[in-house]
Amino acid sequence: MRIVLGVSAGIAAYKSCELLRLFTEAGHSVRVVPTADSLNFVGAATWAALSGQPVTATAWDDVHEVPHVRIGQQADLVMVAPATADLMARAAVGMSGDLLTAVLLTARCPVVFAPAMHTEMWEHPATRANVATLRGRGAIVLEPASGRLTGADTGPGRLPEPASLFAAALRAAARGSGGLGPDLAGRQVLISAGGTREDIDPVRFLGNRSSGRQGYALASTAASRGALVTLVAANTELPDPAGVRVIRVTSALELREQVLAEAVGADCVVMAAAVADFRPARRSEAKLKKTGAPPEPITLVENPDVLRELVASRPRPGQVIVGFGAETGDLLANGRAKLAAKGCDLLVVNQVGPGLAFGTSDNEAVVLSPDGAEVKVPRGPKEALADVVWDLVLARLNQG
């Protein structure tokens, strides 16, 4: 694949060296196109050495090759990382004063912007308007990560880590090559992932085997399809997907609070988390220890049914709600019973057991709907199942 890696003038440019290495080690041909000011952060010699290709910020070098047109025309993917507020402003109004902005005008392949800037710049109305303009034209503008910025500042505006940018870029390119594009652009989706933990004491908890991989796959695929994604993650050890806003929780009650609050603005809610059905009625403030006497029984109380609560309240007209069910025994019978009890628009059911679903990189499932339809998804990467779910969700959103 022929990739153009655009680099604008942000301190996060150093991370793009690692992104470039990931692209080249995967066998892709990468042409780095920096802005002139970005070379104050990482020099042209570094980009040329890592890419094995010439590097220039101006359209006046090798004019006979018409680089300001040819580079964009021949690309299979253009990714700008970091994308500063200035670069996105110039791209939004169609300026072409340097090689990178000219490439953006001539590219007919998927274009992905990975913003990086201070929080105040990201949240400024001008930047938000420029982002909306770029997304409206079909570009994928990832949401920045939250974390430490330059100096002592912390907040949204951090460039996502190279590995997650690499994954987002390849997914965008794959969809673009199939002519699919960012079909979830402008949609706000909320996803829960992972497994909740219910404290017994400061050391022990009741939990489950969910790794969060399926929920994270749903989040990363939605972002690569242009959606604005919020992920409520319970006790996972996975890196944040690029372009996804992550809210971390521990218990079922914490997950419920965040999901109900965030669902108000969502076009779709996908409850992929494994939420504990029960919690201890009382949490011991001190570690429980063996005394030689029989231990006191742990009394359990039911947790709220977050999925059923979402369906009952349906906080937004036309909102699509998707549930997940990990089952043993008769998959379809149990799934149909659960779908009827929950009342959601789609229910994804999968068999669990040794080597199945939990902690694996692949999954096999059936997607059920109230009209009796069954969509069987054969065993494959969890991202493949995620794309099937989004296809079904999109069909329902478009009907609305």
128 in Cβ contact with 134 (< 8 Å): no
Angle formed by the axes of helices 67-74 and 99-106, to 10°? 50
- Which residue carries 């002139």 as its tokens? 36
- b/e map of 1-12 (b: 16 or more CB within 10 Å)? bebbbbbbbbeb
Q: How far apart are CA 61 and CA 56, in angstroms?
A: 7
* 208 contacts: CB under 8 Å, gap ≥ 6: 195, 196, 274, 276
Q: What is the DSSP letter of 271?
A: E
Q: Which of 101, 102, 75, 94 is nearest to 4 (CA)?
A: 75
Catalytic residue (one of 40, 130, 208, 235)? 208
334 is a catalytic site residue: no
Measured CA distances, 40 to 10, 11, 21, 36, 46 (Å): 9, 9, 20, 8, 12
Q: What is the DSSP letter of 347?
A: E
Supply the residues annotated as catalytic. Answer: 208
